[in-house]
């Protein structure tokens, strides 16, 4: 039941990159207490197993596929907060990075609903751990930029590429090809190392290592979320074993 104020509490939880044991303890505890869970399309069945007691509502948004409108998701959050004591909005990665958290927070705050945000491991950090490729490197890379080519409706499709030593492109895939071409046009070296990781931390994880000039020529078919890391920090160390991050690699661990 909702609280005397008329609304329950809503918690935005970051599910992390996919592996169940990469979720925070706080997130797992709240999931186990939730009455209803509104979850992204990229949230795995393994993650949803942490909340067997909850009503589960898929509200996924996938590029190029039929997606749930953000306004509908906002309404679902408010409506369910009026029926249940604890509502969880479960998002892939971290809610506060490319997670549309601003729109959902505004809708809940305007309705006077109590909100908590539980951070998650964003995919860039999980990918760096999975590939044992630090995003910063002393004397090589002292700045990192996270960006995406995805834009809000009505905004220009062309997105400026950040000026940073290491670039991490979320929702890469086909967009990464255009990014690589623009980077070459802007003077980046064709032999700049690139690491592409698909389905990070999941059993079907796949890692591809190539150079910027090769990426500009195309990227093979992908079957899951793709993240692209570019820059000199991605260059393989002399004694580094890259065999463990090829297809079929085990789920990444942040202690790796």
> Is there a catalytic annotation at residue 241?
no
**E strand map for 1-109:** 9-14, 36-39, 55-58, 86-91
Residue with tokens 């690589």: 180
C-alpha closest to that of 12 among 83, 107, 82, 125 = 107
Chain-centroid distance of CA 11 in Å reads 18
DSSP characters over 191-240: T-EEEEEESTTSTT-EEEEEEHHHHTT------S-EEEEESGGGSPPTT-
Q: Which of 40, 91, 94, 245 is catalytic?
A: 40
- What residues are paired with 209 via a beta bridge? 195
Is 165 designated active site? no
Among candidate residues 9, 21, 56, 61, the one labeled active-site is 61
H/E segment holding residue 123: helix 123-131
Tell me which residues are annotated as active site: 40, 61
């Amino acid at each position: 039941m909702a609280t005397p104020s008329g609304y329950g509490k809503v918690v935005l939880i970051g599910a992390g990159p996919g592996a169940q044991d990469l979720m925070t303890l706080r997130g797992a505890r709240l999931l186990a207490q939730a009455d209803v869970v509104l979850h992204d399309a990229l949230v795995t069945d393994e993650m949803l197993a942490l909340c067997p007691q909850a009503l589960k509502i898929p509200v996924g948004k996938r590029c190029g596929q039929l997606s749930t409108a953000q306004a509908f998701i906002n309404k679902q959050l408010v409506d369910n907060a009026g029926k249940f004591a604890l509502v969880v909005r479960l998002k892939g990665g971290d809610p506060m990075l490319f997670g549309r958290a601003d729109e959902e927070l505004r809708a809940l705050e305007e309705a006077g609903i109590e909100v908590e945000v539980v951070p998650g491991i964003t995919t860039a950090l999980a990918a760096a751990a999975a590939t044992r490729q630090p995003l910063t490197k002393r004397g090589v890379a002292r700045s990192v930029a996270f960006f995406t080519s995805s834009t809000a409706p009505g905004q220009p499709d062309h997105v400026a590429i950040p000026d940073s030593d290491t670039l991490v492109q979320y929702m890469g895939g086909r967009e990464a090809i255009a990014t690589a071409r623009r980077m070459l046009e802007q003077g980046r070296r064709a032999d700049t190392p690139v690491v592409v990781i698909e389905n990070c931390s999941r059993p079907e994880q796949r890692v591809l290592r190539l150079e910027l000039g090769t990426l500009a020529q195309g990227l093979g078919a992908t079957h899951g979320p793709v993240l692209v890391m570019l820059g000199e920090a991605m260059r393989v160390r002399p004694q580094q074993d890259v065999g463990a991050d090829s297809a079929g690699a085990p789920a990444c661990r942040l202690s790796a």
